[in-house]
Amino acid sequence: MGKLRVVHYINQFFANIGGEEKADFPAELRVGEVVGPGLAFKASFKDEAEIIATIVCGDSYFNENLETAKAQILEMVKAQNPDVFIAGPAFNAGRYGVACGTVADMVSSELGIPAITGMYEENPGADMFKNKVLTIATKNSAAGMRDAVAKMAPLALKLAKNEKIGASCEEGYMPNGVRVNFFEKERGSKRAVKMLLSKLSGKPFTTEYPMPSFDRVDPNPAVKDMAHARVALVTSGGIVPKGNPDHIESSSASHYGEYDISGVFDLTSDTYETAHGGYDPCYANQDADRVLPVDVLRDLEKEGKIGKLHEKFYTTTGNGTSVASSKAFAAEFSAKLKADGVDAVILTST
Amino acid sequence: MRLEMGHIHIKDIRFSEESKIVDGVLFVCEDEIRKIVLEDEKIKSVTFDIAKPGESTRITPVKDVIEPRVKVEGRGGIFPGVIAKVDTVGSGKTYALKGMAVVTAGRIVGFQEGIIDMSGPGADYTPFSKLINFVMVCEPEEGIEPHHYEQAVRLAGFRVAVRLGELAKELTPDETKVYETCGIKEGIEKYPDLPRVAYVHMLQSQGLLHDTYVYGVDAKKSLTTMMSPTEIMDGAIVSGNCVSACDKNTTYHHLNNPVIHDLFEEHGKTLNFVCHILTNENVYLADKMRSSDWTAKLCRMLDLDGVIVSQEGFGNPDTDLIMNCKKIEAEGVKTVIITDEYAGRDGKSQSLADADVAADAVVTGGNANQLIRLPKLDKVIGTLDYVTKIAGSSADAIMDDGSYEVELQVITGATNEMGFNCLSAR
């Protein structure tokens, strides 16, 4: 197998063209040339990979001619068709960091070529791109080059070889919102004791899971006229027709079910059951109305207290199902409920 | 309270005419143990098997894992209020059979039992692949309801573990460890400069087979309370639940609670381990509010500086975890919480069902939704009938080559929230 092919992107400063006064240097492709930090990458790659081309672009040129520069650089990379694309590292240089993030994101999303960059965590480019591009956290100045390359080069090789990427703390990239499992050296309880001792003595510690900003939903205003409202039932309690025809998983559901209850006045142990694996299913299986109260709503319908029970219900198992999946399910069936003229939904869990 | 723990290392388990332990080998008389299991009329039959580390063996559906122990000196007996009579345990001398476990299996509920692989990639994720397992697969009498069957198997496991533990009573342990905590006043006088630390232990108590028992008391019917940290070592807490296998605290976990053992390591050196606070994870909001209020109140009354909070299960109990954390921090007591994550198979989703800024020190046991490919193994103890149905699996789990593609969720103890494992996530 030949060497893996790398294209490297740097700015005018790291190409030794000049500082701010040369920042208008236009994008330039140097085929077969290894420039500036590229030499450190070359040394680190040994025989595994080679830099087949370096793209040099002034920071002002890039930012002031954004669309043109992007198009030019994209063409350059496309023509070289590398196995992996490396931008920077940019350390704490703000415009360079944004340029690195922009081109790396563009190369991976538009050309499907894996791309990485590296920069200081306070570089404005970090916040803009760390969730889109694997971004190695570097020191804040070029004095950290050796350290940066020591992390970027192996990660670039892994990407080029399509190998599994480890957790952020193992590979050195900034946490990017994707949780990756790995084995720590010490067990969790030991880590907890150490973390507590640090917290108690005011020493720095790093939480293993920074709290997400939580999506809290305010309830809609009350329905004014229930007597004419079309009411639907939606449940995360896993109630399905007997036999679970759509194979909704007992945990971590990959889909939801839509079932017609026209003419159904009571859910019985012969007709309905739960697919949910998070609770003892005995009582739900005996009488699924306990989770999805069709019987009571039919009574209310008859008594004229609600207008109509909607003929379809939506169901999934909440057990272990990710928030992202739940949101996706709800976005889809909420649109159906709206289109069907449903005025109110009763959500039941387990 | 002072407890001396003697460890008897078990190197092998063999079936034999007579039950005994000789030179680290546990000989088990099947007929004798069968009688102990079948004392309960709800169990129709039982088969025994032995699974050793490295073997191409899969045990499933796994219900509970239990370490045999015996009380040698001091008050009470193993599993007080469940097997032994009610009496305060945690002092004197206790022996444990290390390197082995009793594993109970059977079809039971069929959703939340787990898998223990003795070799292959799955074995890396369960601590029980490193033990020699004495497995008892129990079949119920016809017409027995799942929860009665579950209870019968649970108690049979404890009876068998106690019987095997008793075989060690006259032996000399291979190693001995001493665990001792002091009274409140004594601790303050003895360690005036050390931070006062307790362990807040959230017990699974969502009900409907999600239960934990303390001295035989169903934890959901108890207010937040406290124990001496050595009491668990005599089986004061037993598992009676079937939450997803990966973050279920088995009875083995309770006996060997890693937070308690690791706090003991630092006791008298960097911290003063004051006590073990027990709280629950009930499903009603009023219960959650009451229990977390009481937890925070106890932390304050004990003048604690810090606590470690551990969890069992996920989703609904995440709210208890965050309530506890928030309220304890509000009392000026620092917290570290241990949990696991359900971040989706792609790892991109929010990991917990609740969150708060007060939870700024989190230890994670990993993302339970992560997929793993479990290859076909030569031997199955139990049945594969439920592999596509248990929590963390799916109808599409069976691959063409006979392997299973499932979430870590199915593996017993994989993402333990007492911090039993090294698995983590970032």
Do A102 and A39 lie in one domain? The reply is: yes
Chain B from 126 to 145: CB within 8 A of any A CB: 145
Q: What is the mean pLDDT of chain B?
A: 95
Q: Does the beta-carbon distance from A190 to B419 stay under 8 Å?
A: yes
- Cβ atoms of B1 and B232 closer than 8 Å: no
Q: Alpha carbon A145 to chain centroid distance? A: 29
Q: Does the beta-carbon distance from B361 to A195 stay under 8 Å?
A: yes
Do A287 and A159 lie in one domain? The reply is: no
Chain A from 170 to 209: CB within 8 A of any B CB: 170, 175, 177-193, 195-197, 199-200, 205, 207-209
User: Token pair of B300, please?
Assistant: 């304050």
- Pick from B304, B262, B324: which is nearest to A199 by CA? B304
Coil, strand, or helix at residue B161? helix
Q: Categorize the per-residue pLDDT at B189 as very low, low, confident or very high, splitting at 50, 70 and 90.
A: very high
Q: What is the CATH number of the domain that holds A29?
A: 3.40.50.2300
Chain B from 144 to 183: CB within 8 A of any A CB: 145-147
- Chain A interface mutation, best of B108, B111, B408, highest count of A Cβ atoms under 10 Å: B111
In degrees and rounded to multiples of 5, residue A123 shows phi and psi of -60, 130
- Whether A279 is in a domain gets the answer yes
Q: What is the DSSP string of A156-186?
A: HHHHHTTPPP--HHHH-BPP-S---EEE-SS
Residue of B nearest to A210 (CA): B360
Task: Count CB pairs under 8 A between chains A and B.
Answer: 240
pLDDT value, residue A218: 84
Q: Does the beta-carbon distance from A183 to B334 stay under 8 Å?
A: no
Mean pLDDT of B98-106: 96
Lowest mean pLDDT among A207-211, A316-320, B73-77, B290-294: A316-320
Mean pLDDT of B215-240: 97
| CB nearest to B409's CB, from A190, A195, A320 | A320
Sequence-ordered alpha helix ranges (H) in B142-256:
146-166, 184-190, 251-255
A292 lies in which domain range?
Answer: 226-348
pLDDT value, residue A214: 66
Residue B330 has pLDDT above 80, yes or no: yes
Residue of A nearest to B193 (CA): A201
Q: What is the mean pLDDT of chain A?
A: 94
Q: Does the beta-carbon distance from A208 to B390 stay under 8 Å?
A: no
Chain B from 92 to 111: CB within 8 A of any A CB: 109, 111
Query: What are the sequence ranges of the domains in chain B?
Result: 2-410
Chain A from 258 to 277: CB within 8 A of any B CB: 276-277
Do A22 and A165 lie in one domain? The reply is: yes
- Chain A interface mutation, best of B115, B263, B363, highest count of A Cβ atoms under 10 Å: B363
Residue of B nearest to A177 (CA): B348
Mean pLDDT of B142-146: 87
Do A113 and A20 lie in one domain? The reply is: yes
Does B277 contact chain A (CB < 8 Å)?
no
End-to-end CA distance of chain A: 56
Pairing of strands A4-11, A49-57: parallel
Q: Does the beta-carbon distance from A189 to B258 stay under 8 Å?
A: yes
Mean pLDDT of A133-156: 96
Give the tens place of pLDDT for each residue, A204-222.
999 999 988 766 778 888 9
Does A247 contact chain B (CB < 8 Å)?
yes
Residue of A nearest to B340 (CA): A209
Residue B118 has pLDDT above 60, yes or no: yes
Does A328 contact chain B (CB < 8 Å)?
no
Q: Categorize the per-residue pLDDT at A1 as very low, low, confident or very high, splitting at 50, 70 and 90.
A: low
- Whether A284 is in a domain gets the answer yes
**Burial degree of B207 (CB within 10 A; 0-12, 13-18, 19+):** middle
Q: How far apart are CA A156 and CA A172, in angstroms?
A: 12
Active site residue B242: yes
Does B112 contact chain A (CB < 8 Å)?
yes
| CB nearest to B391's CB, from A190, A193, A250 | A250
Q: Categorize the per-residue pLDDT at B34 as very low, low, confident or very high, splitting at 50, 70 and 90.
A: very high
Chain B residues with beta carbon closer than 8 angstroms to that of A189: 258-259, 261-262, 308, 338, 363, 418-420
Q: Does the beta-carbon distance from B419 to A323 stay under 8 Å?
A: no
pLDDT value, residue B287: 97
Choice between A324 and B226, residue whose per-residue pLDDT is larger: B226
pLDDT value, residue B110: 57
Chain A residues with beta carbon closer than 8 angstroms to that of B341: 179, 209
Chain A residues with beta carbon closer than 8 angstroms to that of B363: 188-189, 191-192, 195, 208
Catalytic residue from among B182, B242, B275, B299 = B242
The sheet with strand B92-98 has its strands ordered as: B69-73, B92-98, B2-9, B175-180
Torsional sign, CA A141, A142, A148, A152: positive
Q: Does the beta-carbon distance from A193 to B265 stay under 8 Å?
A: yes
Q: How far apart are CA B156 and CA B38, in angstroms?
A: 8
Chain A residues with beta carbon closer than 8 angstroms to that of B353: 323
Do A243 and A157 lie in one domain? The reply is: no
- Whether A200 is in a domain gets the answer no
- Whether A212 is in a domain gets the answer no
DSSP B408: G
pTM summary value:
0.88
The alpha-carbon gap from A205 to the nearest alpha carbon of chain B, in Å, equals: 8
Chain B from 378 to 417: CB within 8 A of any A CB: 389-395, 407-409, 416
Containing B328, the helix (H) or strand (E) segment is helix B316-330
Do A150 and A23 lie in one domain? The reply is: yes
Chain A residues with beta carbon closer than 8 angstroms to that of B130: none
Mean pLDDT of A142-169: 96
pLDDT value, residue B394: 84
Do A167 and A247 lie in one domain? The reply is: no
Residue B303 has pLDDT above 60, yes or no: yes
Helices A66-80, A94-111: inter-axial angle, 10-degree rounding: 50
pLDDT value, residue A227: 95
DSSP B202: E
Give the tens place of pLDDT for each residue, A45-89.
999 999 999 999 999 999 999 999 999 999 999 999 999 999 999
pLDDT value, residue A277: 82
pLDDT value, residue A334: 94
Residue A259 has pLDDT above 80, yes or no: yes
Domains of chain A: total: 2
Q: Does the beta-carbon distance from A209 to B361 stay under 8 Å?
A: no
Q: Does the beta-carbon distance from B308 to A252 stay under 8 Å?
A: no
Chain A residues with beta carbon closer than 8 angstroms to that of B191: none
pLDDT value, residue A319: 83
Q: Does the beta-carbon distance from B407 to A168 stay under 8 Å?
A: no
